[in-house]
Every structure is written in C-alpha cells, then in structure tokens.
C-alpha cells in the first residue's frame, strides 16, 4: 500500500512539473487587422483564421494565436507601432500603413505595371518579394511574413460623373491612402488627392469631403462604398499588396520548429486570402452585386492608353525625384521582376 502511495505521489509530481514546463513554454501571438472577422467574406479574416488554425495545431498548442479584428486595438499607425514595440506581435498592414514606415514601398504602385494575378503572385512570392522583405526588415525592424492581397486590382469610384478618360477626373477630390505615388497618380489625372484613414472613408464620401476613391472590388464591398458612390470605372490601374508583419524579437525567440510552422502557416494563409478575393470578385457578392448598385464602365484599350500616357511618366519622375538612386534601382528591380514573370507565363 505504501509503495502505491509513493508511486502515486511521484506521478503527481512529474505531472505537475510537466504542466509547469508546458506553461513556461507556451506563447501567445496577438494578431490584428482592420477588417471584420468574416473569413468567408474578408481576405484578412481568412488569412488570420487559417494562420491561427495552422499555428496552433502545428505547435501542438504551444503557440496560441489571438485575433483582434476591426481595428479594435487602434488605427493603422498605432497597430504598426504596437507590433514594433511588442505590445502585439503581428499585423496585416495595408500598403498605406507600410509606406508610413517604409516610404519606398511606393515603388510597387507604378500604375499599370502589373496586369494580371499570375504575374502579381510570381513577383511578390519570388525573389523580388524576398528582396523587399529583407530591406523592410533592415530599415524598420519588422519581420515580413509575406505579401498578402488587399483585394486585387484597384478601380475608380465617384459620386459626381462617369469616368471614361483622364479628362473626367479633372477637378474631382479623390481619397487616397498615405502612399505618395497614389497621390501623384491622382494629380497626374487632374484630380485632387486627399489622404483619409480607411475608418473615416465612408463618412467622408457620404458628406462630400471627397468625391471618389480607388480600391479593389472586394474592399469596395467590405466598406459598403456602393451606398455612397454612384459610378465605378474598371481601370485595373494598381495592384497593392498587404504586408504581413511580425515583431522581430518575438520571431527570434521562437524555436527552429516554431519558425517553420509560422512561416508555412503564413504562406498558406496568404493563399486563402487570395482565394476569398477571387470568389468575391466572381460571385454575386462582388462585381455582379456592385453592378446592380452602381453604374459600371469598362474603358476601351484606347481610353486605358490615355490613362497610362498621363500616369506612368509622372510616376517614374516622382520616384526618381523622391527616392533618388536607391528608389530608382528598386523600381527597376520591380519592373525587371514583372518582365521575368511575364516571360515565364508566355505573356
């Protein structure tokens, strides 16, 4: 009997010690994004949900992922600063959010540079994406988990008149993110650019602070902008990815196995986000829905060329003037990566 009691006591001590070690080894990863946590409807939500599932299962629960959607922890700048300081650990940043901390991110917004999704994915998942991720980490301290998709290609919307050529942009007030080349794009077309935070955009359009904005189809739908915009023009003029960042100290403290799980989970989550966007675009929740609520116009090839003739030279001049030789080289690397991707796919 005494022997049984001793064995029971030893087992209890071992069990308690194991639980203590597990508690010490467990980690919490706080991940935030600005959109609703609706994984079947919102790309960032799908990314967060897939990431959480894969990380928690892949580490056998040693890492728990807490998701903070809808900007509940703060606006974009605040969310980025929280990751930098380690208050939170990860954030899916818009192009505007990243440009605030890494201004040369603007170069990926050369108008009409990327023309289809296959090329976009090849560029950002390949050597150029790795090059830019390394430069972002060196200059900002953010560990880049990948380049997600904000919704696809940018389109123009406004509440004043149909836009068919650059002349129709003349005098309109257009909301942009805090990306200088986005503002230069609007100026090159004769519009007045006005940086406004995403959380304030609906009200700004509703009250006439700005006349229009540009965003991909899924983002227009997420923001319910069709309620305060009458005209949609399908220009496909930019492809601006999300930049998924992670606190570098948190990453450095992970084991090799945990780093592999985190990076694989982020890659798969990015694919999930892109898939959600393609489904939205093609379904009744995307362009077919917006076409019922707004007047949609698809410019002709000749009209698109008019937009290109106005926007591309202005953007290249801006990059050289704003970012000097370093920016010009990064822009050329970006354009070379696009050309290589097009050749790979026989375009």
CA nearest 294: which of 116, 149, 155, 111? 155
Q: How many residues does the chain have?
A: 347
The domains of the chain, with CATH numbers, are 27-345 (3.40.190.170)
pLDDT confidence tier of residue 280, bands split at 50, 70 and 90:
confident
CB-based contact 68:30 (threshold 8 Å): yes
Phi and psi at 242, nearest 5°, equal -70, 155
Query: CA 12, 18, 22, 25: dihedral to nearest 10 degrees?
Result: 140
Q: What is the DSSP string of 24-64?
A: HH-EEEEEE-SS-S-TTT-HHHHHHHHHHHHHHHHTTTSEE
Give the chain's radius of gyration (CA, Å): 23
Strand partners, 176: 195
Per-residue model confidence as pLDDT tens digits over 284-315: 878 999 999 999 999 999 999 999 999 999 99
Q: For residue 263, what are the contacts with CB-CB under 8 A and spacing of at least 6?
A: 145
Q: For residue 134, what are the contacts with CB-CB under 8 A and spacing of at least 6?
A: none
CA nearest 47: which of 60, 58, 33, 57? 33
Per-residue model confidence as pLDDT tens digits over 182-200: 999 999 999 999 999 998 9
- β-pairing, 239-247 vs 90-93, is antiparallel
pLDDT confidence tier of residue 282, bands split at 50, 70 and 90:
confident
Q: Which pLDDT value is given to residue 64?
A: 98
Average pLDDT of the segment spanning 196-221: 95
- Give the orientation angle of helix 127-140 with respect to helix 117-125, to 10 degrees: 50
Strand partners, 304: none
Residue 337's SS3 state is helix
């Amino acid at each position: 009997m005494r022997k049984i009691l001793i064995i029971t006591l030893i087992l209890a001590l071992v069990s308690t010690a194991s639980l203590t070690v597990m508690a010490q080894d467990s980690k919490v990863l706080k991940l935030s994004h600005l959109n609703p946590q609706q994984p079947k409807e919102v790309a960032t939500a799908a990314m967060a949900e897939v990431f959480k599932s894969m990380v928690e299962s892949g580490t056998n629960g040693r890492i728990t992922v807490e998701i903070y959607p809808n900007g509940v922890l703060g606006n974009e700048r605040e969310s980025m600063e929280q990751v930098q300081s380690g208050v939170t650990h990860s954030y899916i940043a818009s192009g505007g959010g990243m440009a605030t901390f890494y201004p040369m991110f603007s170069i990926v917004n050369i108008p009409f540079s990327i023309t289809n999704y296959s090329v976009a994915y090849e560029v950002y998942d390949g050597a150029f994406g790795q090059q830019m991720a390394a430069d972002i980490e060196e200059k900002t301290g953010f560990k880049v988990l990948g380049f997600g998709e904000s919704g696809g290609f940018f389109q123009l919307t406004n509440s004043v008149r149909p836009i068919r050529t650059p002349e129709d942009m003349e005098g309109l007030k257009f909301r942009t993110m805090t990306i200088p080349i986005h503002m230069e794009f609007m100026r090159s077309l004769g519009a007045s650019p006005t940086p406004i935070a995403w959380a304030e955009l609906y009200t700004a359009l509703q009250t006439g602070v700005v006349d229009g904005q540009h965003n991909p189809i899924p983002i227009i739908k997420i923001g319910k902008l069709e309620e305060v915009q009458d005209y949609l023009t399908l220009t496909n003029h930019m492809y601006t990815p999300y930049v998924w960042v992670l606190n570098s100290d948190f990453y450095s403290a992970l084991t090799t196995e945990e780093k592999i799980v985190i990076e694989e989970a982020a890659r798969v989550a990015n694919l999930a986000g892109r898939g959600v966007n393609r489904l939205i675009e093609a379904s009744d929740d995307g362009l077919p829905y917006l076409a019922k609520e707004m007047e949609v116009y698809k410019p002709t090839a000749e009209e698109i060329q008019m937009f290109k003739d106005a926007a591309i030279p202005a953007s290249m001049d801006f990059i050289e003037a704003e970012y000097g030789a370093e920016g010009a080289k990064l822009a050329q690397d970006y354009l070379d990566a696009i050309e290589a991707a097009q050749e790979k796919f026989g375009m």
